Amino acid sequence: ENQKQIPLEIAVYIGHEICKGLDYAHNKKDRDGKPLGIVHRDLTPANILLSYSGEVKIADFGIAKARFNTIDSKTGKLKGKYEYMSPEQARGEDVDARSDVFAVGILLYEMLTGCRLFKTGSDIDTLKKVKAVDIQEPIQINNRISPRLNQIVMRCLHPSKVARFQEAS
């Protein structure tokens, strides 16, 4: 493998821009001023677009939820890529902005460490790993990560959505 590590400053910049985009979507209101309750639910590397000029865009709001639940009522299947789900999404529970915050934590973790966080050889094992959130701190993998940045990533990845950042901002 001849992969290069993403510089920390660029990973943080990308994470910051993702959070700005999510904050906008999460706080979007209808014409009457009522919150739409948009949650992306499928925040993966493939859905983060980077332009040559440094713009970061979130793509594919195809399974985004606006006040609905995580399970496809037609098929009874979970929606989204398992290795980027929050524990509550993996359990088929209702999701909110804090689930997207968890996904940002996964993306940051992977950018900062160069390691896949929850991916395994099987969907069942991946879901078990996501639900358990038994993870190594990113600073243990990349000692160039500051304690503060490590703390931010780990708070995003907290198993309890109550203990996570409550908003993407």
SS (H, E, C) 64-128: CEECCCCECCCCCCECCCHHHCCHHHHCCCCCCHHHHHHHHHHHHHHHHHCCCCCCCCCHHHHHH
| Alpha carbon 16 to chain centroid, angstroms | 12
132 HSE (CA, 13 A, CB side): 11
Q: Which of 42, 94, 96, 125 is catalytic?
A: 42
Reply yes or no on whether 42 is catalytic.
Answer: yes
Q: Tokens 């009457």 sit at which residue?
A: 32
Can you read off the two tokens belonging to residue 52? 């040559």
Can you read off the two tokens belonging to residue 3? 């992969």
**Which residues does the annotation mark as catalytic?**
42
